[in-house]
Amino acid sequence: MIVGATTPEGEPKSMVLGNPPSDRPAVIRIRNLKTKFGPKEIHHHLALDVFKGEVMGLVGGSGTGKSVLLRVIIGLIRQKKGTVEVFGQNTANLHGASLRKLQSRWGVLFQDGALFSSLTVAENIQVPLREHARLTARQLEEVAALKIAMVGLPPDAAHKYPSELSGGMRKRAGLARALALDPPLLFLDEPTAGLDPIGAAAFDDLVRDLQRNLGLTVLMVTHDLDSLNAICDRIAVLLDKRVVVGPLEELLKFEHPWVREYFHGPRGRAARIDAV
Amino acid sequence: MKSRRGREIDGHEAMSATQRVAGDAWCERSQSKGRTTLNVGGRWTVFTLGPLDRQIDAMKLDRADAIDISQLEELDTAGAAELVRLANRVGNKQAAVPIEGAQDNHARLIELAGKQKLRPEKKPHVSWIMHQLILIGTTSYGLLLQGRNLLSFFGETLAVMFGIVRSPRRLRSTAVVNLMEEVWLRALPIVGTLVFLIGFVLAYQGIEQLARFGAQAFAVDMVGLSVLREIGVLLTAIIVAGRSGSAFTAQIGTMRVNLEVDAMSTMGLHPIEVLVIPRIIALLVTMPLLAFFANMMGLLGGGLATVVFLDFTLVQYFERLQEVIDINHFWAGMIKAPVFAFVIAVVGCYEGLQVTGSAESVGRQTTKAVVESIFLVIILDAIFSVFFVSIGL
């Protein structure tokens, strides 16, 4: 199946393999996306749908624009052309209050947590709450404590500063902050990078559990083949400025040198992706 | 909605009594057959819980037998936690009251929230006086420690420098020349302009004040003396501390963040020899040049003021200057330049090497370096002043 009907003939197209859960509403809908840095084109006629309740992994070689795509969706980078719709709203048309409303419906976990270094973990979690929610001082404390417990941090982490935490704890704290407003949509930028295999697996489990319990839609940039295997429902591969989306089984059959190398290479075998 | 806040409704009325506005969170008490039930509904989310809390407080709840959430439209984890809290509060000591009528997804959230420990960790409380005492103690100890560390760094630097004097090939001359351009040549315009202006202002103010006694010609003495002895070199030192001392800290600090300094050490390069000594030498050599230039510009500024406000010619001004200002005043200023240079370079490099890990600490150390070096420069200047007067210079 090919999406993005306006693509001119002969150019590589974004492709959807297998059966997407298109009976559910699309949370993110990208059409005809084109992004450029100076003369360098990053995405060209890119099309992608992320449906409600799925965990989508975003992979691709270095410099193929995974993080750029993530940043375009959350509005940190402006596209040259094309539309990005999140919850049915075109992000390019939103300003002021409507943009803030949309921003309160997604949470973003940046690579190393991106916690505010001058605030404690609890205060970090309270930042979006103070900005968007209407809570009393007692509730602020309690919600922060609840989120800290939900991401598996010890209670005494609440009053620690980010510099006093280990890398894995910082990621968990970042996740707690991303979940502060119970957003239905969660973006994760390389959530397991820099964690040891045990920590990475635990983080995967945490994301999966939260996703199930809270009914989240998750879009995660990752290089971790184990995470792709363990928690992603579908995977989007950035190839030649466009994207190929499908469940892992379908991508394993997909004929493209990079995709073959990626999933069937030594690391792919080590992650026992072939066994899927 | 406001009218219903805190109202008690009994059993059958409850169902029909109120037109419910969708969206807001609400909580009501109803009684039937001696059983008290709390009916809750609307949206229990972070966006509504604040006002709800006041509403529930106003109801002055004591005991209830159950909480019915079948009319709940929306629930998030914070709302679920609030429900669990409410269930604990209206229950008796042993057990929370049951939460009834939950939809599947709501039940899951309530279970999730119920599992967590809800009491927020309290910050350890320290009384105000104790806090101040701790502050004074840690600050004083920190100052002592800082003094000791700086002194030992001075010593280490001197030792390495001595090594270089014995085998001069170890001096990184390219780095020294590059740094000289940066700290001297590029500093000339700013130092020159500022000291020129100060010289001008000083002379102008002097003329204004001394004219009352008909002694305006003495403004020349005043400008000559203060620029040569104090202003020229002091202003230069302050500008250099802000400009080059801070740059030293930032450069070395960034290298520490990138672990370049550690990499250097593992390759057998001595960070003090590679990073610190070239900076100290560059500043040591160029600061006197800069101070000399500053002195001349200051005198020129004073000269311009006398030409403009005193009808002197420049020749007359310099003749008078030569007449009244002894060469010793010039030396009394100049001798301070290399000392200040040494202090600024050492403090700048030392603070740079103290950077740990984060980019934030680069900024902190840079501020510290500038404040410390200006502080030390002014203290030293005062000591010099007293010393020169006591030896009659």
Whether the CB of A114 is below 8 Å from some CB of chain B: the reply is: no
pLDDT band at A9 (very low <50, low <70, confident <90, very high): low
Instruction: Give the whole-angstrom CA distance, residue A183 versus residue B286.
Output: 60
Please answer yes or no on whether A142 and B53 come within 8 Å at the CB atom. Answer: no
pLDDT at A19: 80
Candidates B54, B77, B105; nearest CB to A150: B77
Whether the CB of A112 is below 8 Å from some CB of chain B: the reply is: no
A90, A84 contact by CB (below 8 A): yes
Q: Which amino acid is at A28?
A: I
* Selection from A48, A52, A95, A56 nearest residue A75 by Cα: A95
- What secondary structure letter does DSSP report for A184? S
Sign of CA dihedral A5, A9, A10, A11: negative
Q: Tokens for B142? A: 């920190």
Say how many CB pairs under 8 Å bridge A and B: 88
- What secondary structure letter does DSSP report for B320? H
Which residues, numbered 110 to 169 in chain B, qualify as contacts with chain A under a Cβ-Cβ cut-off of 8 Å? 112-113, 116-121, 123
Number of CB atoms found within 10 A of residue A276's CB = 13
pLDDT tens per residue, range A112-136? 888 888 889 999 999 988 888 888 8
Instruction: Give the whole-angstrom CA distance, residue B2 versus residue A270.
Output: 62
- Which one of B45, B85, B121, B355 makes the best mutation probe of the A interface by having the most chain A beta carbons within 10 Å? B121
Among chain B residues, the shortest Cα distance to A137 is held by B50
End-to-end alpha-carbon separation of chain A, Å? 23
Instruction: Give the whole-angstrom CA distance, residue B142 versus residue B151.
Output: 14
H helix intervals, chain A = 66-73, 96-103, 121-132, 137-150, 167-178, 197-214, 225-231, 248-253, 257-264, 266-270
Please answer yes or no on whether A163 and B81 come within 8 Å at the CB atom. Answer: no
Candidates A139, A155, A158; nearest CB to B49: A139
Q: How far is A44 from chain B (nearest CA, A)?
A: 35
pLDDT tens per residue, range B66-102? 888 888 888 888 888 888 888 888 887 777 788 888 8
Q: Which amino acid is at B139?
A: T
Does residue A43 carry a pLDDT above 90? Answer: no
Instruction: Give the whole-angstrom CA distance, residue A246 versus residue A229.
Output: 13
Instruction: Give the whole-angstrom CA distance, residue A125 versus residue A176.
Output: 7
Stretch (H or E) spanning B59: none
- Which one of A126, A141, A146 makes the best mutation probe of the B interface by having the most chain B beta carbons within 10 Å? A146
Does residue A274 carry a pLDDT above 80? Answer: no
Contacts of A134 in chain B (CB under 8 A): 46-51
The most confident of the ranges A260-274, B52-66, B103-117, B122-136 is B122-136
Q: Which amino acid is at B359?
A: A
Does residue A1 carry a pLDDT above 70? Answer: no
- A47-56, B186-195, B278-287: lowest mean pLDDT where? A47-56
pLDDT band at B10 (very low <50, low <70, confident <90, very high): very low
Superfamily of domain A54-65+96-270 in the CATH hierarchy: P-loop containing nucleotide triphosphate hydrolases (3.40.50.300)
Does residue A227 carry a pLDDT above 50? Answer: yes
Please answer yes or no on whether A141 and B120 come within 8 Å at the CB atom. Answer: yes
pLDDT band at B26 (very low <50, low <70, confident <90, very high): confident
Contacts of A170 in chain B (CB under 8 A): none
A219, A240 contact by CB (below 8 A): no
Task: Please give the domain boundaries of chain B with CATH numbers for all domains.
Answer: 2-115 (3.30.750.24), 171-390 (no CATH)
Please answer yes or no on whether B116 and A150 come within 8 Å at the CB atom. Answer: yes
Whether the CB of A163 is below 8 Å from some CB of chain B: the reply is: yes
Does residue B379 carry a pLDDT above 90? Answer: yes
Report, as an integer, the average pLDDT of B121-133: 83
- A102-111, A143-152, B106-115, B254-263: lowest mean pLDDT where? B106-115
Contacts of B85 in chain A (CB under 8 A): 142
Please answer yes or no on whether B81 and A146 come within 8 Å at the CB atom. Answer: yes
Question: Which residue has 């609440």 as its token pair?
Answer: A158
pLDDT at B13: 39
Which residues, including other chains, have CB under 8 Å from residue B112's CB and lie 6 or more apart? Answer: A150, A213, B77, B80
pLDDT at B121: 61
pLDDT at B342: 95
Which residues, including other chains, have CB under 8 Å from residue B254's CB and lie 6 or more apart? Answer: B355, B362
Whether the CB of A171 is below 8 Å from some CB of chain B: the reply is: no
Does residue B5 carry a pLDDT above 50? Answer: no
- A115-119, B240-244, B327-331: lowest mean pLDDT where? A115-119
Q: Which amino acid is at A266?
A: P
Please answer yes or no on whether B77 and A146 come within 8 Å at the CB atom. Answer: yes
pLDDT band at A10 (very low <50, low <70, confident <90, very high): low
pLDDT band at B119 (very low <50, low <70, confident <90, very high): low
Please answer yes or no on whether A134 and B46 come within 8 Å at the CB atom. Answer: yes
Whether the CB of B107 is below 8 Å from some CB of chain A: the reply is: no
Instruction: Give the whole-angstrom CA distance, residue B212 versus residue A8.
Output: 89
pLDDT tens per residue, range B274-308? 999 999 999 999 999 999 999 999 999 999 999 99
Instruction: Give the whole-angstrom CA distance, residue B335 versus residue A275.
Output: 79
Number of CB atoms found within 10 A of residue A232's CB = 23
- Which one of B43, B45, B46, B362 makes the best mutation probe of the A interface by having the most chain A beta carbons within 10 Å? B46
A176, A153 contact by CB (below 8 A): yes
DSSP string, B181-241: HHHTGGGHHHHHHHHHHHHHHHHHHHHHHHGGGT-GGGHHHHHHHHIIIIIHHHHHHHHHI
Average pLDDT over chain A, rounded to an integer: 85
pLDDT at B181: 94
β-sheet bridge partners, residue A46: A33
Report, as an integer, the average pLDDT of B251-272: 89
pLDDT band at B120 (very low <50, low <70, confident <90, very high): low
Among chain A residues, the shortest Cα distance to B107 is held by A213
Instruction: Give the whole-angstrom CA distance, residue B149 versus residue B255.
Output: 21
A221, A191 contact by CB (below 8 A): no
Report, as an integer, the average pLDDT of B216-243: 93
Whether the CB of A150 is below 8 Å from some CB of chain B: the reply is: yes
- A41-45, A175-179, B208-212: lowest mean pLDDT where? A41-45
Candidates B78, B358, B360; nearest CB to A182: B78
pLDDT band at B117 (very low <50, low <70, confident <90, very high): low
Contacts of A122 in chain B (CB under 8 A): 120
- Chain centroid to Cα A246, Å, comes to 16
Q: How many residues does chain A have?
A: 276
Number of CB atoms found within 10 A of residue A13's CB = 18
Torsion over CA of A116, A120, A125 and A126, rounded to 10 degrees?
A: -100
Instruction: Locate the DSSP E strands across chain B.
Output: 26-32, 35-44, 66-75, 99-100
- A17-21, A99-103, B215-219: lowest mean pLDDT where? A17-21
Candidates B46, B109, B119; nearest CB to A143: B46
Which residues, numbered 5 to 64 in chain A, qualify as contacts with chain B under a Cβ-Cβ cut-off of 8 Å? none
